[in-house]
Structure 1
Amino acid sequence: MRGMIVFLGDSNGFSDWILRIAEAEAPSMDVCRVDRLEDLPPTSGAKRFIIVADDMARDMLANPKGWIADHPGARWILAYRDEKMARQLLALRRRCDILASIGLLPMNLPVDQWTPMFRLALSGDCVVPARLLDTDALPDKPVHPRVDPLHASLTPREREVLALVSEGKRNKTIAHELSLTEHTIKLHLHHIMKKISVRNRTQAAQWFLTRQQGGTP
């Protein structure tokens, strides 16, 4: 039974190229776009992701049980352009259990950055960009880059490996691109995870992408 990825919103929020990327990233799943909650395909028991545009998410956050409870087993993801909406969800997650599993997917990103974030969202991970945690951040304020001491502790090669890991690439592919052996890539990953205090490559990718979104060099 094939799973399904449903984009809940119109073509302004989810363009055809977004649907094509989703199809390429999840070839074993059906991908569709619907404009209204009532148009969601019936639950079939197969794996399902419902990705909600932030202009529709206001209704979902106001009445989460009415939305989420009617689609048991579905993984809900907020696809946001409005950072205030994403911060609102983060605040509500602490008080409302039914919202605790909703993921985040930033939409104001170039394709090469959006695609790995989409992969992580499908893996069930909730990556929170660092700027969402800074409630004083305003879009019109100048950004002054700060050096992350942990990021600075990585060697140039380790940063290169970590960037490729964050794109969802396997060790064999990374080794080929960097003209290294798989064993060397594994050693680099071991050192990276030890330096940044994470347990696995998914957490390492989250760590990297969060700092990229937060503007940390």
Structure 2
Amino acid sequence: MIDEANLDKTKVICLFVGTAHDFSDHVLRLASEEFPCCEFQRISHINDLGFFDKNGRHNLRAIIVHQSQSKELLAQLGKICEGFNGAMVALGYRDVPAARQVADAAEADGLGAQLGYLPMNLEIDRWVSVLRLLLCGESYMPRELIEQAAPAPEPAKPAMPDRLFDRLTDREFEVLSCAAQGNQNKIIADKLGLSVHTVKLHMHHVIAKLGVHNRTEATICFLEQQQSARVQ
């Protein structure tokens, strides 16, 4: 259900349609940090779009639907585009063959131009760039969905095993844990009784040991590992 009471009516709105497993809280926080002028909300099912305040629909900039609801999306795409005129509708996906089937079906129904795509397994910088396009009202069609004869894509990276984090020292793990909570270096330094320079040095070592590119990717790996541990 859409949290109307907490929506900032002065901001444009982006809705992620899926469960907390499909689009985690961290994904929403990351998007909010990158696009502070936009309000990001998550609703569990595409049918919940009907509860969105009609008076606020002019602020809705993008609707990102998880691929697990692709059948419902295809069935309602024309109606959604008409009811939310001006909002870019896109499929958030990880499974390339399944997303290609959606693209083919949308094209066959004459709705191909009305549907964009947001690959959820991109590097952070590229993912943010694609989301920016969608928020600007631009459709995005990944090459992997166009090239039918392209080689099979690499499988999505498995969740980070626990032993990978065993490479970290206790202090490095503490720094990463604080960073994953959204704390800036100065706050982390105060919490752990370290200098800001030492915090930066620990984070540099964390990034190198985890084999990621930056702080954001390191925190995402940490949060995914924590979520996986809770599920198990």
Q: TM-score range by the shorter chain?
A: 0.5 to 0.7
Residue aligning to 1:20: 29
More helix by share: 2
Alignment of 1:145-160 (within 5 A): none
Residue aligning to 2:88: 75
Mapped contact 2:87–2:137 kept (Cα < 8 A): no
Q: CA deviation at 1:134?
A: 2.5
Residue deviations 1:153-172 (CA, integer Å, cap 9, x gap): xxxxxxxxxxxxxxxxxxxx
Mapped contact 1:76–1:101 kept (Cα < 8 A): yes
Residue aligning to 2:13: 4
Mapped contact 2:17–2:65 kept (Cα < 8 A): yes
Q: CA deviation at 1:26?
A: 2.1
Residues 73 and 128 of structure 1: is their aligned pair in 2 closer, same or farther, counting only changes over 3 Å? closer
Cα distance in 1, alignment partners of residues 128 and 59 from structure 2 = 23
* TM value normalised by structure 1: 0.56
For 2:28, what is the secondary structure of its paired residue? Answer: helix
Q: CA deviation at 1:70?
A: 3.5
Residue 103 of structure 2, aligned match among 90, 104, 108: 90
Residue aligning to 1:103: 116
List runs of 5+ in structure 2 lacking aligned partners: 1-9, 156-232
Residue deviations 1:86-111 (CA, integer Å, cap 9, x gap): 21233234333444221111011232
Letter aligned with residue 39 of structure 1: D
Q: CA deviation at 1:117?
A: 2.0
List runs of 5+ in structure 1 lacking aligned partners: 142-217
Letter aligned with residue 138 of structure 1: A
1:52 aligns with 2:65: yes
Aligned-CA RMSD value = 2.4
Residue deviations 1:117-150 (CA, integer Å, cap 9, x gap): 2222222333333222222332479xxxxxxxxx
Cα distance in 1, alignment partners of residues 141 and 112 from structure 2 = 15
Mapped contact 2:17–2:46 kept (Cα < 8 A): yes
Residue 35 of structure 1, aligned match among 44, 52, 71: 44
For 2:114, what is the secondary structure of its paired residue? Answer: coil
Mapped contact 1:65–1:98 kept (Cα < 8 A): yes
Residues 13 and 91 of structure 1: is their aligned pair in 2 closer, same or farther, counting only changes over 3 Å? same
* TM value normalised by structure 2: 0.53
Residues 39 and 94 of structure 1: is their aligned pair in 2 closer, same or farther, counting only changes over 3 Å? closer
| Count of residue pairs the alignment pairs up | 141
Cα distance in 1, alignment partners of residues 11 and 66 from structure 2 = 23
Cα distance in 1, alignment partners of residues 33 and 122 from structure 2 = 18
Cα distance in 2, alignment partners of residues 75 and 94 from structure 1 = 16
Residue aligning to 1:214: none
Q: CA deviation at 1:38?
A: 3.4
| Same amino acid, percent of matched pairs | 31
Residue 138 of structure 1, aligned match among 152, 159, 171: 152
